[in-house]
A and B are shown apart, each in its own frame.
Chain A
């Protein structure tokens, strides 16, 4: 069965520092990969997704992620953190084996220190 692992339930960075949130997946076929963000008491919003083509994907709010097939990873980065980036971030995957369901990671809470 597919699974998604997000390393670190909490990540703390200083404002202006690099943000790196890790996501690894298990899939025997090419997956589609998603990052969603959830602000407190709100639903989830798509940040970016990888389907096919260029492996470096740019999303909203200055975030980007790179699909690395050899490492089965889809890590999310942002060069310079802003206080407004404080939220919970979820990685998700779908593939032929998931029957159109998204398989979700447990989430990483991003904390921004002033």
Chain B
């Protein structure tokens, strides 16, 4: 396994700009999760996919946020019209199967700074 990868690792943008992050899960993992993490806090769930289907979205995910996983492999998270409050670490994780006991494997994260 090459692990979960995320790109870019860091992103600085100006308020009002759009940004897109990419996540490549571990091969053949059918579940993919997006989280947001701010300093001093645990991860906050944003959304998850079972293959290409987006099964749940947190209320944290305003209409400025959209996520896709078009072929059930990599996923993108787009934030439109960024705000300073969007500054955070965005984490992606994947798991091999459906199940409450399944381990989620995390990528290194994308750190976003909105100026």
Query: Besides the contacts A34-B103, A46-B103, A106-B40, what 16 more A-B pairs have beta carbons closer than 8 Å?
Result: A43-B4, A43-B91, A43-B107, A51-B101, A90-B43, A94-B101, A99-B56, A100-B98, A100-B100, A101-B48, A102-B43, A102-B45, A102-B104, A104-B42, A104-B43, A107-B40
A-B pair number, CB within 8 angstroms: 58
Bound-complex Cα distance A4 to B44 (A): 13
How many of chain B's residues have a CB under 8 angstroms from any CB in A? 24
Instruction: Show the binding face of A for B, using Cβ within 8 Å.
Output: 4, 9, 32, 34, 36, 41-46, 49, 51, 90, 92, 94-96, 98-102, 104-107
Q: CB within 8 Å of A: which of B89-115? A: 91, 93, 98-101, 103-109, 111
Which residues from chain A contact B107 at a C-beta distance below 8 Å?
43
A49 touches B103 (CB 8 A): yes
